[in-house]
Amino acid sequence: MDHRTADTSPAGPLQALPQPPVSEPPLRPDLARDLIARAEQASTNWSRRLRNELDDLRLGQVRHTDYANAKVLRRILAEYDWPGHRLVGRDGCRAAWQLALHADDDPDVQRSAARLLHRALQAGDAPAWQWAHLHDRVLISTGQPQEYGTQYTLSPQGVERYPVREAAGLDSRRARVGLPAAADAVATLRQRLASLSSRPGVASGTGRGVQLASAA
């Protein structure tokens, strides 16, 4: 199996979309702290998984942690809808997004998260680029071409983008959700991953569903 990765840094203005609030303190700082802690704790293992530094036992533990985090996210979604900027602040919202991206073993949670995140961005409570990544993730997980070209496979041949619907309009769609041009994004992604190229096991094609949360 291959590794998954993504370009995940926003760039450029959002087009005709409300901007999330930036000044109000979050309503649930305790929830924000929990989400951030979970994402930070998992991020080391996500990176180690990409580099194939985990044996089968540790890989199973990482997947169990991702599944447990997905269950926590499920409860949050049921109680609050998407934990957006008003509820948990920018960092908490980003952490929830990272956990959702890694919820490949709980596709129901991933689909619910994408739907509620879309509703939050329409209310000005989350950034559109986060939804674009999660929306693409759900599409490729169900065997469909992605919309925004955010999802890549990291294979022995290098970084390859998953199929995209109507590729000619890709950059226009990306611009509407605040993402950089696709060529710039993949160049940045390859540059960041190049620092790992001398490490044993990188892109060996033995992992599954690894998503870098700050790849490009």
**Per-residue model confidence (pLDDT) at position 45:** 76
**Per-residue model confidence (pLDDT) at position 197:** 55
Residue 40: which residues within 8 A CB-CB, separation 6 or more?
A: 95
**Per-residue model confidence (pLDDT) at position 5:** 63
**Per-residue model confidence (pLDDT) at position 109:** 97
Residue 86 near residue 21, CB atoms below 8 Å: yes
Helix (H) or strand (E) holding 43: helix 29-50
**Per-residue model confidence (pLDDT) at position 77:** 98
**Per-residue model confidence (pLDDT) at position 1:** 43
Question: What pTM does this model have?
Answer: 0.82
**Burial profile 181-198: b = 16 or more Cβ within 10 angstroms, e = fewer:** ebeebbebbbebbeeeee
**Per-residue model confidence (pLDDT) at position 190:** 85
**Per-residue model confidence (pLDDT) at position 201:** 47
Joined tokens for residue 37: 């802690």
Residue 192 near residue 216, CB atoms below 8 Å: yes
Longest CA span, the chain: 47
What averages of pLDDT result for each successive group of 10 residues across the chain (216 residues)?
54 44 81 97 76 68 89 98 97 97 94 98 96 96 95 81 95 97 92 65 41 40
**Per-residue model confidence (pLDDT) at position 204:** 42
